[in-house]
Amino acid sequence: MLNEMNFILLFKQKMLNVTFVTIYFSFVIMNASADELVASLNAQSVPPAPPRIVVSVEPLYEIVSTLSHGIVKPQVIYLNFNDRYKVLSNWQKELINSADIIIRAGEGFEPVLDEYLKLQGKELENKTITLSKYIPLLDKEDSSDDVLASNRQEKSDLRFWMDPRLVKMLAIYIAPRLVAMDPEHQEEYLDNEIILKDQLKKIEKKMLLLFKQLSVEQKILFAQFNPYLKNRYMSFSEMKKITRLTNNQPEVLACIQGHSFDAIPLNLEYTEKALYSLLHTLEQCSKTKVTANIPSN
């Protein structure tokens, strides 16, 4: 009888031990599962870091920032347009090396950047979009016909952003690259592309209406800002008169060169302000009144 009671007590004790162990491990597993759940929820609640988009010069910022509106603002390597020939600072190098995508004008236009990208190897090169490779370029005004085709970048004028139609081509090319780099915001990039193309259509219309109302002399002055303006808005007969103006009126050219018109603002309100400012300069330099009326829509 005593042995039977001892056996029962021993059996109960072992069962208690088993129950305790079971409860303990259940508690450990539940805690681990809870920790995993908390970690998973925390991971889901932290949004991914925005893409790091870098452009070489300020005129390209206008284009790319419109495409990335509402997602991220691009950063600019050369805040001052003329710094393209200076040695890169440590800040600029860090900006380039940490970029998810680099959008630049072209070889020869940013010579210091050219050399730096070559030294960094394929990884950085694969992140870089060189826009001059994908659009038709005009020759520089003073370029020689003796320049070899292999030196296309040296012969070409890379200020292509002054032509709204070329900017539209760039937008069509850049938008899918931004989507490939940041697919999470695909819809936003493509919506912004549609908006930008609509803006460019209105900007081109405004510039064409302005150009039609200028005198021949004023058209020639307008074209001095950029060969892409001449190519887009002047007739062949008007182009032939440029040499005569250049040779006979150097003081007029000196006057127009004092006006800063490096890029066409892509915001329609700023575009109008820039064009009215240009009209004022054309009036002063040509000594004639411009009667152009730029419609607001």
Q: Give the tens place of pLDDT for each residue, 185-243.
A: 999 999 999 999 998 888 888 878 877 777 777 776 766 667 787 777 777 676 666 65
* 209 and 194 part of one domain: no
Q: Does residue 96 lie within any of the structural domains?
A: yes
Angle at 200 between CA 194 and CA 203, to 5 degrees: 145
Which pair of structure tokens corresponds to residue 271? 């575009």
Question: How much is the pLDDT for 39?
Answer: 56
* 194 and 209 part of one domain: no
Question: How much is the pLDDT for 25?
Answer: 47
* 79 and 174 part of one domain: yes
Which helix (H) or strand (E) segment is 103 a member of?
A: strand 101-104
* 71 and 208 part of one domain: no
The strand pairing partners of 129, in sequence order, are 103
* 68 and 189 part of one domain: yes
* 74 and 175 part of one domain: yes
Contact 53, 75 (CB under 8 A): yes
The CATH number of whichever domain residue 148 belongs to comes to 3.40.50.1980
Q: Please give the tally of structural domains in the chain.
A: 2
Look at the block and give the residue holding tokens 């009209």.
279
Q: At how many degrees (to 10) do helices 164-181 and 58-67 cross?
A: 60
Contact 279, 214 (CB under 8 A): no
Question: How much is the pLDDT for 250?
Answer: 62
Q: Output the CA–CA distances (angstroms, integers) from residue 130 to 42, 73, 82, 105, in the order listed.
A: 39, 19, 19, 6
Q: Which domain holds residue 153?
A: 53-201
* 61 and 154 part of one domain: yes
Q: Does residue 292 lie within any of the structural domains?
A: no
Question: How much is the pLDDT for 28?
Answer: 47
Q: Does residue 10 lie within any of the structural domains?
A: no
* 175 and 248 part of one domain: no
Question: How much is the pLDDT for 58?
Answer: 86
Question: How much is the pLDDT for 277?
Answer: 72
Contact 101, 53 (CB under 8 A): yes
SS3 of residue 20 by DSSP:
helix
* 110 and 241 part of one domain: no
* 149 and 280 part of one domain: no
- Please name the residue ranges forming H helices in the chain: 2-45, 58-67, 90-97, 111-120, 122-126, 152-155, 164-181, 186-212, 216-223, 227-233, 236-240, 242-248, 250-256, 268-286
Which pair of structure tokens corresponds to residue 99? 């970029």
User: Each residue's pLDDT tens digit in the chain (297 positions)?
Assistant: 545 555 455 545 555 554 554 555 454 445 545 556 445 545 455 567 889 999 999 889 989 999 999 999 999 999 887 888 899 999 999 999 999 999 999 888 888 999 999 898 888 889 999 998 888 888 776 544 444 444 555 567 777 887 888 889 999 999 999 999 999 999 999 999 999 999 888 888 887 887 777 777 777 676 666 778 777 777 767 666 665 555 546 666 667 666 555 666 666 566 666 666 776 777 777 665 544 444 455
The per-residue DSSP string of 38-92 comes to HHHHHHHHSPPPPP-EEEEEHHHHHHHHHHTTTT---EEEESSGGGGGSPPPHHH
* 197 and 222 part of one domain: no
Contact 108, 114 (CB under 8 A): yes
Distance CA 49, CA 93 (A): 20
Q: Does residue 123 lie within any of the structural domains?
A: yes
Q: At how many degrees (to 10) do helices 216-223 and 268-286 cross?
A: 120
Q: Does residue 37 lie within any of the structural domains?
A: no
Q: Does residue 9 lie within any of the structural domains?
A: no
Per-residue b or e along 154-180, where b marks 16 or more CB atoms closer than 10 Å to that residue's CB: ebbbbbbbbbbebbbbbbeebbeebbe
Round the CA-based radius of gyration of the chain to a whole number and report it: 32
Contact 226, 164 (CB under 8 A): no
* 213 and 187 part of one domain: no
